[in-house]
Structure 1
Amino acid sequence: MKKKKLGTLILSALLLIGVLAGCGNSADGGNKSAAGSLDAIKKRGKLIVGVFSDKPPFGFTDEKGNYIGFDNDLAKRFAKDLLGDESKVEFVPVEPASRIPYLQSDKVDLILANMTVTDARKEQVDFTNPTMKVATQVLVSDKSGIKTLDDLKGKKIIVTKGTTADIYLTEHRKDVELIKYDKNTESLQALKDGRGDGYAQDNFILISWAKDNPGFHLIDEKLEKEAPIAPAVKKGNTELRDWVNKELQTLGKEHYLIELYNKYVKDALGADTDPYEVITEDGKI
């Protein structure tokens, strides 16, 4: 009887070990059906992408509510090449501060929302190769008298929460008062209403907005040196990251990013801007 019980206990232990081993494979990425994996995306039949809905020319919606713009069109192309149909993409609107949490909680497979690559963000997500490069500047009213970054001392500067401008000014400019909003549109409206002396953001966004809103100009000096912008995946999702990198190489041969630049960005930045000063075709910077 004792031998029978001992055999039963040993068998139960072996079964438990097998179950735990299987769980371990899922946790460390061994499970190909893990959220965000290529297998899971294909079984689901759609690519879920976090994008901006209010940040032209990169991510915004038209009068019918369709998601368009540089990043959003790129997401459609990813869906077409991965799943055979550009409509097999689900757009999830994000704000700058929610981009990383949405990846970490598996609400999205991929972020295509004009995210600048920084060392701090690299610790939380995995970036693919870049699609463009950008600098952070400050937009001010022509009547403000502000001409240099030194002139910002003691001023009220508007930022959108979670942006590189927000992070940089919070850490390095204790001499300015930051006014923070969740949305880019809220920040721009606050600047227009005079609720702040300037708005710090990616220069592409500011240049585009200033063209349609006379009376504002960029301070020539940049807050930080030029940095790459890239799609991002959940930390450890090397499978999707590597697929995007190969896809960017393929699209580079077609000059697809330049096509998107000409469609959405060229008019915003002006015809005299060299697109290769902005775009990183082939994922190379």
Structure 2
Amino acid sequence: MKFNLRPAAVALLGVLSLTPALANADQATFPAGSTMERLSKASTLRIGVKFDQPLFGLRDLSGKPIGFDIDIAKLIASKLGVSANKITWVETSSSNREPFLEQNKVDFIVATYAINDQRKKVIDMAGPYIVGGQDMIVKKGNPLNIKGPDDLAGHKACVISGSEGQSALAKKYAQTQIVPFDVISKCVEALKNGSVDAVVTTNFILAGLVSRDPNNLQLVNNLFTREPWGVGMPKSENDFCHFVSDVLTEADKDGTYGKMYDATLKTYVGGDGKLPALDQCP
């Protein structure tokens, strides 16, 4: 399924924000009754994001959300013809993302959201727009010599409640003492004060945390899962899934995706800045 998408001009902001500013797209037109028509005509577009994820979703000093997930969300909004001032940013956590979609609290979610079969039972997901994996951070110098998940046996590892990290440890590394929190910032504080011995989550998130505090945190750099991130949406909105896939594909072809990736992520996580192969929509 293909949609005729009008190009949105993209300009990179200054070095401090590292966030592309998407110009307002011309008013797009969509098939009557489609999800895209409904979203484009709504008084506001409600997008679920995180505000505690360095590189992906944070608030800057003025309170505006910034990061790679924010850029992806703005790109989709611009292709719907929705201007930035019509976006309502809704803070989400790993544990409430599916409920927010099921309860119609958001229109879609871009929030470090891993694609998996369990989630696809209750929501739809487009993507992946990036692929990473679970890793760990420890105190600078790695005093406990934790080199991988097997070394967590008998140690306390902090995870985000409802996250891929929590699931991976529970399934394969059961001797780990898992300590769940609702937000990653609490895990980092627990690591610093010695309440836990490691923090487990996606390597991209961890790289962002280390970039903000390199004197106290250290990345183990040993991936033990594959984790594709996608855009979450309510179940059975397959037309919107195809639309988002087309937006991502077009952005990769015209260089928009690469510019966004280079401006926000490349310095910290490397990579070639190319869009991964997309999953098929329902």
Which TM-score tier does this pair reach, normalised by the shorter chain?
Answer: 0.7 to 0.9
How many Å separate the matches in 1 of 2:121 and 2:216? 40
Task: Look up the match of 1:125.
Answer: 123
Equivalence for 1:201: 201
- Distance in 1 (CA, whole Å) between partners of 2:90 and 2:128 is 21
| Unpaired stretches in structure 1, ≥5 consecutive residues | 1-30
- 8 Å Cα contact 2:133-2:227 kept in structure 1: yes
Aligned: 1:81 with 2:79? yes
Q: Cα RMSD over matched residues?
A: 2.1
Aligned residues: 246
**Is residue 45–residue 83 contact of structure 1 (8 Å, CA) maintained in 2?**
no
Matches of 1:148 and 1:43, distance apart in 2: 49
* Native 8 Å contact 1:38 1:240 kept in 2: yes
Q: Distance in 1 between matches of 2:104 and 2:84?
A: 21
1:233 is displaced (CA, Å) by: 0.8
Q: Which residue of 1 aligns with 2:153?
A: 153
Q: Which moved more, 1:99-108 or 1:82-91?
A: 82-91
Please name the residue that 2:218 is paired with: 217
The equivalent residue for 1:96 is: 94
Partner in structure 1 of residue 12 of structure 2:
none
Deviates more, 1:168-177 or 1:214-223: 214-223
What letter matches 1:198 in structure 2? Answer: A
Amino acid at match of 2:73: A
- Cα distance, 1:202 vs structure 2: 0.3
Quote the Cα distance in structure 2 between the aligned partners of 1:148 and 1:263: 30
Q: CA deviation at 1:281?
A: 5.6
2:48 to 41, 47, 50: 50
CA distance in 1, matches of 2:151, 2:271: 30
TM-score computed with the length of structure 2 as normaliser: 0.81
Counterpart code for 2:117 = D
3-state SS in 2 of match to 1:275: coil
SS of alignment partner, residue 199 of structure 2: strand
Q: Which amino acid aligns with 2:145?
A: G
Task: Give the residue type in structure 2 aligned to 1:182.
Answer: D
Correspondence for 1:69 among 67, 70, 86 = 67
1:170 to 1:282, Cα distance in 2 relative to 1, 3 A: closer
Shift of 1:135: 0.7
AA matched with 1:177: Q
Amino acid at match of 2:128: P
Q: Secondary structure at the match of 2:95?
A: helix
| Aligned partner of residue 137 in structure 2, secondary structure | strand
* Paired amino acid for 2:228: P
Match of 2:239 in 1: 239
**Within 2, Cα distance between the matches of 1:161 and 1:96?**
6
**How much has 1:198 moved relative to structure 2?**
0.5
What amino acid maps onto 1:275 in structure 2?
D
After superposition, the C-alpha distances for 1:20-55 in whole angstroms (9 at most, x for unaligned) are: xxxxxxxxxxx938xxx2232233133211001110
SS of the residue 1:131 aligns to = strand
Deviation at 1:222, TM superposition (A): 2.4
Give CA deviations for 1:72-130 in whole Å, capped at 9, x if unaligned: 12212222221252332211000111111111111111110011111211212111121
Change (3 A) 1:283 1:89: farther
Q: Higher helix proportion, which one? A: 1
Amino acid in the other structure paired with 1:280: L
**CA–CA separation in structure 1 for the residues paired with 2:258 and 2:237:** 28
Partner residue of 1:274? 271
Seq. identity, % = 26
**SS of equivalent residue, structure 2 residue 84:** coil
* Structure-2 residue corresponding to 1:250: 250
Whether the 8 Å contact between 2:150 and 2:173 is mirrored in structure 1 is no
Q: Kindly tell me: are residues 192 and 213 of structure 1, through their superposed partners in 2, closer, same or farther at Cα, counting changes over 3 Å?
A: farther
SS at match of 1:217: strand
Cα distance, 1:56–1:216 mapped onto 2, change above 3 Å: closer
What's the CA shift for 1:207?
A: 1.9
Runs of at least 4 residues of structure 1 off by over 4 A?
281-285
Query: 2:15 corresponds to which residue?
Result: none
Select the structure that is richer in strand.
2
2: CA distance, partners of 1:168 / 1:234: 25
SS at match of 2:85: coil
Q: Structure 1 residue 204: deviation in Å?
A: 1.1
Conserved in 1, the CA contact under 8 Å of 2:161 and 2:180?
yes
